[in-house]
Amino acid sequence: MSDTATISRPTEDRPIKVRRISFDYPADELPRHYMADDLVMSHIVSVLSGLFPEGEDFFVRTVRNYRDRITDPELKAQVAGFIGQEATHGREHRAFNDRLAELGYPTKLVDRFTRARLRMNEKTLPQTWQLAITAALEHYTATLAEALLSDPEARAMFSTDEVRSLLLWHAVEESEHKAVAFDVYQEVCGNARLRGNVMNAVTVGFLTTSVAFAAFSLLRDPASRDLRRLGRSLRRVRSSPWLTKDVRRRIRDYNRPDFHPNDHDATELLAEWRERLFGTEGTLVDHLDGGRRAVAS
């Protein structure tokens, strides 16, 4: 892999809208195993949600480090949208994580660990490496987000309406801004070898952390003592829509020297889901402008 690669960033207008939105999780509407009563997936999703708030804050800081060096006005506007969207994601996942903690998931421990780990990265790693970490993790989140938006089987696993709504909104916005951190990295650094090496390290760290915390979370759940149920749930993970060959191929694509996130065009998919969620009869229109939590309070 060469140290640098010339990658043309699409010039078309790609506005990134910051939506004021909120979600609520009443006690009688969020069962302990809210992923269609699937034991393992409920713990995996809870751990991932626990990683999000501090992760989103880290993403914002690593991009903001270079905001003053961006000269492209379109990219400047996209960075502002990226920061606004990620800040909202962090806020909403913190609210969800508080509810998950009440159900017994170790989201507060995951949050503290993530904060300490990322703060250590900021103290010890060059800012270009930190930005490369963000670009790599954004590729993961966008790939998984587009799998959720495009695969009915993936959406069916979210049997609790409010959790499904949270993740669909998050997925749309991850896809909308999937190229921003990457484009900032290309503008201020563009070292393809560093980008690939950081991606490989991120993959090991992300998978190790996620699996370790999911196992820890399962060990604390009395339902895991039902070995038949646990075994059935573990077997279902192998056929998960987030572990398909297509998903794995898309993740690997990141290490191509000429890769760009928009190589995987989601224009039509996003248009469909913006209409389904936020159109005239969109299912999340009542969640906008703080609707749900404001009503609940």
Q: What is the mean pLDDT of the chain?
A: 93
State mean pLDDT over 178-185. Answer: 98
- For residue 9, is it within any domain? no
Tell me, what's the pLDDT at 129?
98
User: Does the pLDDT of residue 297 top 50, yes or no?
Assistant: no
> Where residue 3 falls among pLDDT bands split at 50, 70, 90?
low
Note the pLDDT tens digit of each residue in 21-45.
999 998 788 999 999 999 999 999 9
- For residue 148, is it within any domain? yes
Note the pLDDT tens digit of each residue in 249-286.
999 999 999 999 999 999 999 999 999 999 999 999 99
Tell me, what's the pLDDT at 11?
41
State mean pLDDT over 148-175. Answer: 97
CB neighbours of residue 177 within 10 Å: 25
**At 73, which helix (H) or strand (E)?**
helix 73-102
State mean pLDDT over 2-14. Answer: 51
Tell me, what's the pLDDT at 290?
57
DSSP symbols for 109-156:
HHHHHHHHHHHHHHHHS-HHHHHHHHHHHHHHHHHHHHHHHH-HHHHH
Q: pTM of the predicted model, to two decimals?
A: 0.92
Tell me, what's the pLDDT at 13?
57
Could you give the percent of the chain with pLDDT greater than 90?
Answer: 90
Range of the domain at 233: 31-261
Residue with tokens 């999000």: 52
Tell me, what's the pLDDT at 4?
52
Note the pLDDT tens digit of each residue in 223-243.
999 999 999 999 999 999 999
State mean pLDDT over 93-111. Answer: 97
Contacts of 165 (CB under 8 A, 6+ apart): 23, 283, 284, 287
CB neighbours of residue 3 within 10 Å: 11
- For residue 68, is it within any domain? yes
Tell me, what's the pLDDT at 169?
98
User: Does the pLDDT of residue 89 top 90, yes or no?
Assistant: yes
- For residue 15, is it within any domain? no
Number of domains in the chain: 1
Cα 106 off chain centre by: 19
Note the pLDDT tens digit of each residue in 43-80.
999 999 999 999 999 999 999 999 999 999 999 999 99
Cα 249 off chain centre by: 18
* Cα dihedral 87, 203, 205, 238 sign: positive
State mean pLDDT over 171-197. Answer: 97
- For residue 84, is it within any domain? yes
- For residue 193, is it within any domain? yes
User: Does the pLDDT of residue 100 top 70, yes or no?
Assistant: yes
State mean pLDDT over 94-102. Answer: 97
- For residue 56, is it within any domain? yes
Cα gap 255→292, rounded to integer Å: 41
- For residue 161, is it within any domain? yes
The tokens of 264 are what?
Answer: 């995987």
Instruction: Please list the residues that pair with 4 across neighbouring strands.
Output: 191
Tell me, what's the pLDDT at 292?
53
